Amino acid sequence: MSADASDLSLVRRVQRGDKGAFDVLVLKYQHKLVKLVMRYVRNPAEAEDIAQEAFIKAYRALPQFRGESAFYTWLYRIAINTAKNAVVSRDRSPIEYNVDRGSTDNEESYDMQGRMKDSETPEGLVLTDEIRSTVNAAIDALPEDLRTAIVLRELEGLSYEEIAAAMACPVGTVRSRIFRAREAIDRRLREVFEGGLGRTEELG
């Protein structure tokens, strides 16, 4: 099984003219890309703009993508170059981010600092808070085996095979546990999105 088969199948669809497949890729990688760009710019709103620009550049460059490297590697390279160019053009240094931030332990104060410069709407901030608290509550409510499986996958980035070895169970069981964990969390999360602020419908 190719580790990049999922992304590659979507990329091939985009290359054949299916724009909807690119939406799927954006949905999957938007958060990771913003987090990556935030190593270069301190403002989350600016990071989102750069990530958005990187996605658009990636779409335009997709005809040249041959699948010789993983899609996310290729996408990350575009995002890093876009971020570096943005930093240079705005005369900002990535080092400034580390100096101001001081310590990585101070995540919460950094988050608040970023928020003060954030140009997002108050509704967006409220929704992000609500999503975060809902997901965390749902994870806490999960049975131990489901929670362990989903955390090993999402937080540690382990493959199903590695998780199976760690939990001493078959790979099929890992796949089932992760799926059931996601389903349990998603049931609560859907209520938040369908409560009036869900914006992913814009992509439908």
Partner 1 sequence: MNEELDSQLSAMFDNELPAAECELLARRLSRDADLKARWGRYAVIGAVIRAERGVALDGTMAGRVSAALSSEPALSIDTAPASRRSRASSWWQPLSGAGLAAGVAVVSILWLRSQALPGGSPVAAPVMVATRTATFGSPSAQGALQAASATTTPDSFVVPPIQQRPMMVVPATELADYVVAHSAFSWPVSRGNLLSSLMVSEPGTSSTPAESDQRAPRVQGNATQNPK
SS (H, E, C) 77-140: HHHHHHHHHHHHHCCCCHHHHHHHHCCCCCHHHHHHHHHHHCCCCHHHHHHHHHHHHHHHHHHH
Tokens in use for 6? 């999922």
Tokens 């199948």 -> residue: 9
Is 65 in a helix, a strand, or coil? coil
Cα dihedral 6/12/13/19 (nearest 10): 100
Least separation in angstroms between residue 119's CB and partner 1 is 11
Q: How crowded is residue 185: how many other Cβ atoms within 10 Å of its Cβ?
A: 20
Cα 112 to Cα 191: distance, rounded to the nearest angstrom: 26
Report residue 45 CA to chain centroid gap: 15
Instruction: Give the helix/strand (H/E) hosting 177.
Output: helix 171-192
